[in-house]
Amino acid sequence: MIVAAILSILITMALAVTRALLGKTVYDRILAVNVFGTKTVLLIAALAFLSGRPDILDIALAYALINFIGVIAVLRFFEYDGDAATRPEGE
């Protein structure tokens, strides 16, 4: 059953990566990467329970912290670049 949880998390990660590759605005990509990071935390927790070594949960905590701070930092970088939101690719 943990395998079912891991499979659903992986399906969600695949959908998020698809949005990150397709999304035409910068903010779509940041949103998809944020979802992907949250799902990575869940995947680390599920793998810790699957392998029977729950010590790996410390890594999941550290990853959640780094993911949040990284998203906020990238948003600070892009917030005042108003043209980037609606600019088509390659211009």
Partner 1 sequence: MAVAIDLLSWVLILVGGAFGIIGGIGLLRLPDFFSRIHAASVTDSMCAPCIIAGFMLQSGFTLVTVKLLFLIVFLFLTSPTASHALAKAALHSGLEPGKHYDGNTGKERQG
Verify binding: residue 66, partner 1, rule CB under 8 A: no
Radius of gyration, CA atoms only, the chain = 16
Place of tokens 């906020």: 72
Minimum CB separation of residue 34 from partner 1 in Å reads 6
- For residue 47, state whether it binds partner 1 (rule: CB under 8 A): no
Q: Closest separation between CB of residue 51 and partner 1, Å?
A: 13
Judged by beta carbon, residue 51 or residue 75, the one nearer partner 1 is 75
CB of 29 to partner 1, least distance (A): 11
CA distances to 6, 25, 39, 68 from 73, in Å? 29, 17, 20, 9
